[in-house]
Amino acid sequence: MLPAPLDDARRGGARILVLSPHLDDGVLSCGALLSTLTRSEITVLTLFTACSPGPHTRAARSFLRQCAHPDAASLFAARRAEDREVVGRLDARAEHAGHVDALFRRRAVPGAVGRVLPELAHRYPTYRFDIARGRVSRGDRALRAALATDLARRVRDVDLLLAPLGVGRHVDHLVTRDLGPTWPGRVVYYADLPYALSHAPDAAFVRREGLRPHSVDEHPDTVLDRKDALVRGYRTQVDALFPSGVIPRTAETYWSS
Ligand SMILES: [Zn+2]
């Protein structure tokens, strides 16, 4: 059973804006549903689609190694191209907002400091103790304000906003999630896959927004096969995300009030 705004969208004609933190999250989490909404006008807007020049932190270097792409700029160019191709296959529109991914987000320090120890020149020096802790830096306040202003302009022309629930507590996912509560009645949150396989949702946020889960597990095999193929289209990411080579056919879960 789908939340009411999604059910309405399924009948067709809805204008849907999917907020995706990174170049893959929207399809990883909502690919099966989106591939069934063939009569809607769908835009997948990805917020953090850019990197910054080196020297990079140890965490960023390790990510580049995982993606088998030594150069961040060419990796992000490849990721943007993958996303345009995958989202295009859904007959949806891919838009890239061009904000810098948390792994590469810099803060202002004297140049020499950052060259010697790149961690000091980045807003989130480590993955484990900063990015994955779910504590959004105060230095990201201006970024959050800019995102909220941009979204307010766009949401006038949108019937349904799909935003991440921020499961896994990656700071970019939380920054994206936090754009949702301004649009009650129009926003539905999606459980972030694959993080939702191993992490629980943020109980405080769920309670505050009065959200209830709706698992969509009635998708036929053809839809799940199509989603599998879409996810595999993110060639630079799929091996690091699913080292076993198997993409779990998990039910997508949507949360609404
Ligand atoms: Zn992500």
Distance between Cα 21 and ligand 1 center (Å): 5
Distance between Cα 150 and ligand 1 center (Å): 20
Distance between Cα 110 and ligand 1 center (Å): 30
Arch. (CATH architecture) of 4-256: 3-Layer(aba) Sandwich (3.40)
Tell me the mean pLDDT in the region 18-43: 96
Distance between Cα 211 and ligand 1 center (Å): 21
Distance between Cα 159 and ligand 1 center (Å): 24
* Residue 22 in this model has a pLDDT that exceeds 90: yes
Distance between Cα 171 and ligand 1 center (Å): 9
Distance between Cα 23 and ligand 1 center (Å): 7
Distance between Cα 25 and ligand 1 center (Å): 5
Residues present in the chain in total: 257
Distance between Cα 6 and ligand 1 center (Å): 22
Tell me the mean pLDDT in the region 4-10: 82
Distance between Cα 156 and ligand 1 center (Å): 26
Tell me the mean pLDDT in the region 214-241: 93
- Average pLDDT, whole number, for the chain? 94
In the chain, % of residues over pLDDT 90: 85
Task: Give the burial string for 54-71 (b: 16+ CB within 10 Å, else e).
Answer: bebbebbbebbeebebee
Three-state secondary structure of the chain: CCCHHHHHHHCCCCEEEEEECCCCHHHHHHHHHHHHCCCCEEEEEEEEEECCCCCCCHHHHHHHHHCCCCCHHHHHHHHHHHHHHHHHHCCCEEEEEEEECHHHCECCCCHHHHHHCHHHHECCCCCCCCHHHCCCCHHHHHHHHHHHHHHHHHHCCCCEEEEECCCCCCHHHHHHHCCHHHCCCCEEEECCCCHHHCCCCCHHHHHHHCCEEEEECCCCHHHHHHHHHHHHCCHHHHHHHCCCCCCCCCCEEEEEC
Of 48-52, 55-59, 214-218, the one with minimum mean pLDDT is: 214-218
Distance between Cα 194 and ligand 1 center (Å): 10
Distance between Cα 10 and ligand 1 center (Å): 26
Distance between Cα 177 and ligand 1 center (Å): 12
Distance between Cα 46 and ligand 1 center (Å): 10
Q: Are 117 and 109 in contact (CB under 8 A)?
A: no
In the chain, % of residues over pLDDT 70: 100
Distance between Cα 60 and ligand 1 center (Å): 14
